[in-house]
Chains A and B, each alone.
Chain A
Amino acid sequence: MILIKDLVVKLGDFSLIIDYLEINDGEYFVVLGPSGVGKTVFLHTLMGFLKPLKGKIEVNGIDITYWPPEKRNFALIPQDFSLFPHMNVLGNIAYGLKIKGLSKDYIDRVVHEIASILEIEHILNRNVDSLSGGEKQRVALARALVVRPHVLLLDEPFANLDPRLRAKSRRFIKRIHERLRFTAIHVTHNIIDAILMADRVGYMKEGQFVIISHPKDFIKTEYARPYLDEILPLSEYLRGADYSN
């Protein structure tokens, strides 16, 4: 379990303030909010790239507030996936295991296991430049999951995918999460991601979580209104339209 208490992070004039937040093991927690509210600052603080002014972050009762990023075991999937361009798919996935100095046999076995779960075994020897957006996302997911992180941090993972692929990727990540039950913190400005994927949604405004709730409860709040106002006319149109063909 991740526990965040009385956390204050200052970045110029901007402040991130979290009084109390608990994220349970295996939970899929979505951080929702428009641009500039501090979602990435929150992620980077969790990762250890930003040092808090005060407060603490605990993982299973251990205070990790000032631990360096490499000791935290929080794997990051950035918006652009950031695959290492000088390594092939296999090299990318194996990177975290090689860094830990694990044996070649073990690395080979574990990489093939995760590649099989994520259905990317056939592209292990491919150059990362030749991959499609969806394939890149799966490789980034495999690279992060193979190190068995305490938490998987996903920073707008669907932002660079076209709408059709986005829907498919949502279903895919949901399915993988149900199978592997890793703890995930997913940052997005897309309410559909939040509703369809989250166990709980935390809505951020001006550097603070103003509400944390189940998606079903969240959509009833004033914070969901601007998002729903954009979606509802479309759903009403679709209800009246015959698009069965």
Chain B
Amino acid sequence: MLRRAESLMLLFVSITTLGICFIVLPIIALFLLLDPNILAKIYLKDPIFYVQTRKAFLITLEASSISTILLITLGIPIAYLLARSNFVGKSIVEGIIDIPLMLPHTVAGIMILCAYSGRGLLGDLLKALNITTEDNFWGIVITMMFVSFPLMVDTIKIGFESVNPTLELVARSLGASAFKAFTTISLPLARQSILAGAILAWARALSEIGAILVVAYFPKTINVLTLEWLNTYGLKYAIALSIPLVLLALLLFIVFRLMVSRK
């Protein structure tokens, strides 16, 4: 019996090792194929390249950070409501929130165009407010928000669900208003989930390309620029652009894992 259990574990360990290799191999390959001269050229030496690179990184970081901040503001009340109350149609609302997870990215982009572009459903209203989404920075932000929305809400919701609701009842009985009980009890107790949600949503926003290509090719995000250089200059240039993104993704997920394990 023991030998069979050991064999099973050995089989599982082998499969796990294969799975890990499947993920790690492309990362190693990326670094092995990296040309240091091209790296220096596109980040430091050649202004034709580094102006574009720096601008694309800046736009990507700005748009993903703004989208994450806006999503935290939206996500906390939505997640709290879903975690704390039962209402008719709650599962439908939860399903709607998860729609962006299941959509092909180009379809998500087309949907955003249909709703929020100048020709879209809210086109006239947005024009009146002087907001443009097509080939515009705010188009990138809206697209990033759309694709990251479920990750943010679902992660924060798990955090609020893990806070014992009686704690808030006790706080109310001690003189705290509903808002005060929320800000002094539930919010600090869910802070790790809020941070985890923010990291996941930010990482998701950083990695988006399909929907952004449809909504706002310009100003170019780093992903759009990488794709463009892959087609124009070849793999070596695309690799040099990809390296910082891989390092950032690794860093984000290490922080995320550390936070989850600290819970």
Scan A212-232; emit 1 where CB is below 8 A from any B CB, else 0.
000000000000000000000
Scan B165-191; emit 1 where CB is below 8 A from any A CB, else 0.
011011111111110100011001100
**Given A82-B164, A84-B185, A86-B188, A95 contacting B169 (CB threshold 8 A):** no
Contact A96 B189 (CB under 8 A): no
- The CA of A138 and the CA of B173, in the complex, are separated in Å by 17
Contact B174 A99 (CB under 8 A): yes
Contact B172 A84 (CB under 8 A): no
- The CA of A130 and the CA of B173, in the complex, are separated in Å by 25
User: Is A73 engaged at the interface, CB distance under 8 Å to the other chain?
Assistant: yes
Q: Given the complex, which residues of A lie within 8 Å of B180, measured CB to CB?
A: 70, 99
Contact A78 B174 (CB under 8 A): no
17 A-B Cβ contacts within 8 A?
A47-B169, A47-B172, A47-B173, A69-B169, A69-B172, A70-B174, A74-B173, A76-B169, A76-B170, A76-B173, A80-B166, A84-B171, A95-B171, A99-B171, A99-B176, A99-B184, A143-B170
Partner of B170, one of A72, A78, A86, A100: A78
Contact A153 B173 (CB under 8 A): yes
For A, the interface residue count at a CB cutoff of 8 angstroms equals 26
Contact B188 A75 (CB under 8 A): no
Q: Given the complex, which residues of B lie within 8 Å of A143, measured CB to CB?
A: 170, 174
- The CA of A48 and the CA of B177, in the complex, are separated in Å by 12
**Minimal Cβ-Cβ distance residue in B for A76:** B173
Contact A78 B169 (CB under 8 A): yes
- The CA of A149 and the CA of B175, in the complex, are separated in Å by 10
- The CA of A75 and the CA of B173, in the complex, are separated in Å by 5
- The CA of A70 and the CA of B164, in the complex, are separated in Å by 19
For residues 175 through 227 of chain B, which have their beta carbon under 8 Å from a beta carbon of chain A?
175-178, 180, 184-185, 188-189
Q: Given the complex, which residues of B lie within 8 Å of A153, measured CB to CB?
A: 173
Contact B167 A70 (CB under 8 A): no
Q: Given the complex, which residues of A lie within 8 Å of B169, measured CB to CB?
A: 47, 49, 69, 76, 78, 82
Contact B177 A68 (CB under 8 A): yes
User: Is A85 engaged at the interface, CB distance under 8 Å to the other chain?
Assistant: yes
Partner of B189, one of A74, A78, A85, A100: A85
Q: Given the complex, which residues of A lie within 8 Å of B175, measured CB to CB?
A: 70, 73, 96, 99-100, 147
Q: Given the complex, which residues of B lie within 8 Å of A185, measured CB to CB?
A: none
- The CA of A16 and the CA of B167, in the complex, are separated in Å by 25
* Residues of B bordering A, CB below 8 Å: 164, 166-167, 169-178, 180, 184-185, 188-189
- The CA of A70 and the CA of B176, in the complex, are separated in Å by 6
For residues 39 through 62 of chain A, which have their beta carbon under 8 Å from a beta carbon of chain B?
47-49
Shortest beta-carbon distance from B169 to chain A in Å: 6
User: Is A144 engaged at the interface, CB distance under 8 Å to the other chain?
Assistant: yes
Contact A95 B174 (CB under 8 A): yes
Shortest beta-carbon distance from A153 to chain B in Å: 7
Q: Given the complex, which residues of B lie within 8 Å of A82, measured CB to CB?
A: 164, 166-167, 169-170
Shortest beta-carbon distance from A90 to chain B in Å: 15
- The CA of A82 and the CA of B176, in the complex, are separated in Å by 15
**Minimal Cβ-Cβ distance residue in A for B174:** A96
Extra contacts besides A73-B175, A80-B164 (16): CB < 8 Å = A68-B177, A69-B169, A70-B175, A75-B173, A76-B173, A80-B166, A82-B164, A82-B170, A84-B167, A86-B189, A95-B176, A96-B174, A96-B175, A99-B171, A99-B175, A143-B174
Q: Given the complex, which residues of B lie within 8 Å of A99, measured CB to CB?
A: 171, 174-176, 180, 184
- The CA of A69 and the CA of B175, in the complex, are separated in Å by 7
**Minimal Cβ-Cβ distance residue in B for A153:** B173
Residue with the greatest number of chain A CB neighbours at <10 A, chosen from B175, B177, B180: B175
Q: Given the complex, which residues of A lie within 8 Å of B170, measured CB to CB?
A: 76, 78, 82, 84, 143
Shortest beta-carbon distance from A137 to chain B in Å: 14
- The CA of A170 and the CA of B57, in the complex, are separated in Å by 66
Shortest beta-carbon distance from A186 to chain B in Å: 15
- The CA of A176 and the CA of B135, in the complex, are separated in Å by 71
Q: Given the complex, which residues of A lie within 8 Å of B171, measured CB to CB?
A: 84, 95, 99
* List of 5 A-B pairs having minimum Cβ-Cβ separation, nearest first: A96-B174, A76-B173, A69-B172, A82-B166, A99-B175
Shortest beta-carbon distance from A194 to chain B in Å: 23
Shortest beta-carbon distance from B248 to chain A in Å: 31
Shortest beta-carbon distance from A39 to chain B in Å: 15
**Minimal Cβ-Cβ distance residue in A for B181:** A70
